[in-house]
Copies of this chain bind each other. A is one copy, B any other.
Amino acid sequence: MSQYERPNIAAMQGYASGEQPQDGRSIKLNTNENPYPPSPKVAQALADFATEQLRIYPQPDARALRQAVANHHGLAIENVVITHAGDEALRLAVTTFVSPEGVVASTEPTYSLYPVLTQIQGAQMVTQALEADWSLPADFAASMNQADAQLTCVVNPHAPSGHFTSIDALRAVAEELTGVLLVDEAYVDFVDEQGPQDATELVRDLDNVLILRTFSKGYSLAGLRLGYLLGAPSLIKPILEKTRDSYNVDAISQVIGLASIEDQAYAQQTWRTVRGDRELLAADLRQLGFTVADSQTNFLLAQVPEGANAEALYQGLKTKGILVRYFATPRLKDSLRITVGTGEQNQRLAALLTELLAG
Contact = CB atoms under 8 A, between A and B. Distances in A.
Oligomeric state, in copies: 2
Given A17-B60, A235-B4, A247-B17, A55 B84 contact: no
Contact of A120 (B12, B38, B242, B253): B242
Interface stretch (A139-147, A190-198, A222-230): A222-230
Nearest to A6: B99
A43 interface: yes
A33 B5 contact: no
A13 B238 CA distance: 9
Given A10-B238, A238-B9, A54 B28 contact: no
A237 B9 CA distance: 11
Contacts of A37: 51-52, 54-55
Interface in A198-250: 207-208, 216, 220-225, 232, 234-235, 237-238, 241-243, 245-250
A100 B9 CA distance: 13
A82 interface: no
A20 B243 contact: no
Interface residues of A, number: 83
Given A2-B234, A91-B245, 19 more contacts: A6-B99, A9-B238, A9-B242, A15-B246, A17-B246, A20-B58, A20-B59, A22-B59, A37-B52, A37-B55, A38-B51, A38-B52, A46-B49, A53-B223, A54-B223, A55-B223, A85-B245, A87-B248, A222-B247
